[in-house]
Protein backbone atom coordinates (compact mmCIF):
# COMPACT_ATOMS: atom_id res chain seq x y z
CA UNK A 1 0.00 0.00 0.00
CA UNK A 2 2.85 2.39 0.83
CA UNK A 3 4.45 1.72 -2.55
CA UNK A 4 1.21 2.68 -4.29
CA UNK A 5 1.08 5.95 -2.32
CA UNK A 6 4.66 6.77 -3.31
CA UNK A 7 3.80 6.05 -6.94
CA UNK A 8 0.76 8.34 -6.80
CA UNK A 9 2.82 11.08 -5.14
CA UNK A 10 5.54 10.80 -7.80
CA UNK A 11 2.98 10.87 -10.61
CA UNK A 12 1.29 13.94 -9.09
CA UNK A 13 4.65 15.67 -8.81
CA UNK A 14 5.43 14.82 -12.43
CA UNK A 15 2.02 16.01 -13.59
CA UNK A 16 2.29 19.30 -11.71
CA UNK A 17 5.77 19.84 -13.19
CA UNK A 18 4.45 19.79 -16.74
CA UNK A 19 0.96 21.17 -16.11
CA UNK A 20 1.85 24.69 -17.25
CA UNK A 21 3.03 23.21 -20.53
CA UNK A 22 -0.26 21.49 -21.33
CA UNK A 23 -2.69 24.26 -20.46
CA UNK A 24 -4.15 25.77 -23.63
CA UNK A 25 -2.20 29.02 -23.29
CA UNK A 26 1.02 27.20 -22.31
CA UNK A 27 0.63 24.78 -25.22
CA UNK A 28 0.09 27.64 -27.66
CA UNK A 29 3.14 29.44 -26.32
CA UNK A 30 5.32 26.33 -26.64
CA UNK A 31 3.96 25.51 -30.08
CA UNK A 32 4.56 29.06 -31.27
CA UNK A 33 8.13 29.07 -29.95
CA UNK A 34 8.80 25.67 -31.50
CA UNK A 35 7.58 26.65 -34.97
CA UNK A 36 9.54 29.92 -34.94
CA UNK A 37 12.74 27.84 -34.84
CA UNK A 38 14.44 26.69 -38.03
CA UNK A 39 13.68 23.24 -39.40
CA UNK A 40 17.17 22.11 -38.37
CA UNK A 41 16.62 23.27 -34.77
CA UNK A 42 13.21 21.59 -34.65
CA UNK A 43 14.79 18.38 -35.89
CA UNK A 44 17.57 18.60 -33.31
CA UNK A 45 15.00 19.19 -30.56
CA UNK A 46 12.90 16.17 -31.54
CA UNK A 47 15.98 13.97 -31.93
CA UNK A 48 17.25 15.12 -28.52
CA UNK A 49 13.88 14.31 -26.95
CA UNK A 50 14.03 10.74 -28.28
CA UNK A 51 17.68 10.24 -27.25
CA UNK A 52 16.93 11.60 -23.77
CA UNK A 53 14.19 8.98 -23.38
CA UNK A 54 16.42 6.18 -24.61
CA UNK A 55 19.31 7.36 -22.43
CA UNK A 56 17.10 7.52 -19.35
CA UNK A 57 15.72 4.04 -20.05
CA UNK A 58 19.28 2.70 -20.43
CA UNK A 59 20.35 4.32 -17.14
CA UNK A 60 17.41 2.73 -15.34
CA UNK A 61 17.45 -0.70 -16.95
CA UNK A 62 21.03 -1.54 -17.93
CA UNK A 63 24.00 -1.88 -15.55
CA UNK A 64 26.54 0.90 -16.06
CA UNK A 65 29.30 -1.58 -16.88
CA UNK A 66 27.28 -2.42 -20.03
CA UNK A 67 26.62 1.23 -20.91
CA UNK A 68 30.22 2.41 -20.37
CA UNK A 69 31.71 0.83 -23.53
CA UNK A 70 29.10 2.68 -25.59
CA UNK A 71 30.21 6.04 -24.19
CA UNK A 72 33.66 5.93 -25.78
CA UNK A 73 37.13 4.75 -24.84
CA UNK A 74 37.60 4.76 -21.08
CA UNK A 75 40.11 7.24 -19.64
CA UNK A 76 40.60 8.85 -23.05
CA UNK A 77 40.12 12.53 -23.78
CA UNK A 78 39.84 14.39 -27.04
CA UNK A 79 41.96 17.47 -27.81
CA UNK A 80 40.52 20.60 -26.26
CA UNK A 81 41.30 23.07 -29.04
CA UNK A 82 38.61 25.27 -30.55
CA UNK A 83 36.95 23.53 -33.48
CA UNK A 84 36.69 25.58 -36.70
CA UNK A 85 32.89 25.48 -36.74
CA UNK A 86 31.02 25.05 -33.46
CA UNK A 87 27.61 26.00 -34.88
CA UNK A 88 26.22 22.47 -35.05
CA UNK A 89 27.55 21.35 -31.62
CA UNK A 90 26.09 24.48 -30.02
CA UNK A 91 22.73 23.85 -31.71
CA UNK A 92 22.75 20.28 -30.39
CA UNK A 93 23.69 21.53 -26.94
CA UNK A 94 20.71 23.91 -26.99
CA UNK A 95 18.39 21.15 -28.24
CA UNK A 96 19.41 18.66 -25.54
CA UNK A 97 19.24 21.17 -22.68
CA UNK A 98 15.89 22.52 -23.88
CA UNK A 99 14.32 19.12 -24.56
CA UNK A 100 15.45 17.96 -21.09
CA UNK A 101 13.22 20.64 -19.53
CA UNK A 102 10.14 19.21 -21.24
CA UNK A 103 10.52 15.47 -20.69
CA UNK A 104 8.05 13.87 -18.27
CA UNK A 105 10.91 11.66 -17.06
CA UNK A 106 14.05 12.82 -15.24
CA UNK A 107 16.64 14.07 -17.72
CA UNK A 108 19.59 15.06 -15.59
CA UNK A 109 23.25 15.44 -16.41
CA UNK A 110 24.14 11.87 -17.43
CA UNK A 111 21.16 11.46 -19.76
CA UNK A 112 21.91 14.86 -21.31
CA UNK A 113 25.60 14.08 -21.78
CA UNK A 114 24.83 10.67 -23.29
CA UNK A 115 22.23 12.12 -25.67
CA UNK A 116 24.42 14.98 -26.86
CA UNK A 117 27.35 12.58 -27.30
CA UNK A 118 25.28 10.27 -29.51
CA UNK A 119 23.99 13.17 -31.60
CA UNK A 120 27.46 14.65 -32.06
CA UNK A 121 29.06 11.29 -32.83
CA UNK A 122 26.49 10.71 -35.59
CA UNK A 123 27.67 13.98 -37.13
CA UNK A 124 31.39 13.21 -36.79
CA UNK A 125 32.33 15.51 -33.88
CA UNK A 126 34.90 14.35 -31.30
CA UNK A 127 33.62 14.48 -27.72
CA UNK A 128 34.70 13.63 -24.19
CA UNK A 129 32.19 12.65 -21.54
CA UNK A 130 33.36 13.32 -17.99
CA UNK A 131 32.11 11.72 -14.78
CA UNK A 132 32.94 13.47 -11.54
CA UNK A 133 32.37 13.23 -7.80
CA UNK A 134 32.23 15.90 -5.11
CA UNK A 135 31.76 15.69 -1.37
CA UNK A 136 28.81 17.64 0.00
CA UNK A 137 28.88 19.49 3.33
CA UNK A 138 27.23 16.52 5.07
CA UNK A 139 29.97 14.16 3.74
CA UNK A 140 27.67 12.62 1.14
CA UNK A 141 28.98 12.17 -2.37
CA UNK A 142 27.45 13.98 -5.31
CA UNK A 143 27.95 12.79 -8.88
CA UNK A 144 27.89 14.81 -12.09
CA UNK A 145 28.40 14.23 -15.82
CA UNK A 146 29.30 16.74 -18.51
CA UNK A 147 30.22 16.65 -22.15
CA UNK A 148 32.98 18.58 -23.92
CA UNK A 149 33.39 19.07 -27.65
CA UNK A 150 36.55 20.89 -28.65
CA UNK A 151 37.16 23.47 -25.95
CA UNK A 152 33.46 23.99 -25.12
CA UNK A 153 31.46 22.22 -22.44
CA UNK A 154 28.10 21.56 -24.06
CA UNK A 155 26.10 19.90 -21.28
CA UNK A 156 26.47 19.90 -17.52
CA UNK A 157 28.83 22.85 -17.52
CA UNK A 158 27.25 24.64 -14.58
CA UNK A 159 29.32 23.85 -11.48
CA UNK A 160 31.44 21.14 -13.10
CA UNK A 161 34.60 22.71 -11.68
CA UNK A 162 33.83 21.60 -8.14
CA UNK A 163 33.78 17.93 -9.17
CA UNK A 164 36.82 15.68 -9.22
CA UNK A 165 36.99 13.77 -12.49
CA UNK A 166 36.88 10.03 -11.82
CA UNK A 167 36.43 8.82 -15.38
CA UNK A 168 36.46 10.08 -18.95
CA UNK A 169 35.11 8.60 -22.13
CA UNK A 170 36.67 10.01 -25.27
CA UNK A 171 35.80 9.33 -28.84
CA UNK A 172 37.87 10.75 -31.66
CA UNK A 173 35.21 9.62 -34.18
pLDDT recorded at residue 170: 95
pLDDT recorded at residue 129: 97
* Spans of the chain below 50 pLDDT: 1, 20
pLDDT recorded at residue 4: 55
Q: Radius of gyration over alpha carbons of the chain, in Å? A: 17
pLDDT recorded at residue 68: 95
Total number of residues shown for the chain? 173
- SS3 call for 64: helix
pLDDT recorded at residue 166: 97
**10 Å Cβ neighbour count for 43?**
13
| CB-based contact 120:171 (threshold 8 Å) | no
pLDDT recorded at residue 112: 98
88/90 Cα distance (integer angstroms) = 5
- SS3 call for 151: coil
Residue 129's Cβ-count burial label (10 Å; 0-12, 13-18, 19+) is buried
Residue closest to 68 by CA, chosen among 1, 121, 134, 114 = 114
pLDDT recorded at residue 34: 78
**10 Å Cβ neighbour count for 12?**
10
Residue ranges covered by each domain of the chain: 38-171
Amino acid sequence: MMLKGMYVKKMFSLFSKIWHQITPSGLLTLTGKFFRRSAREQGHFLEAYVWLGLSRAAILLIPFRRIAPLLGRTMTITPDYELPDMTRPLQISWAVRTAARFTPWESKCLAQAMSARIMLKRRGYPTTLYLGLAKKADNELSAHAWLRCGSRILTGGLGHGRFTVISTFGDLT
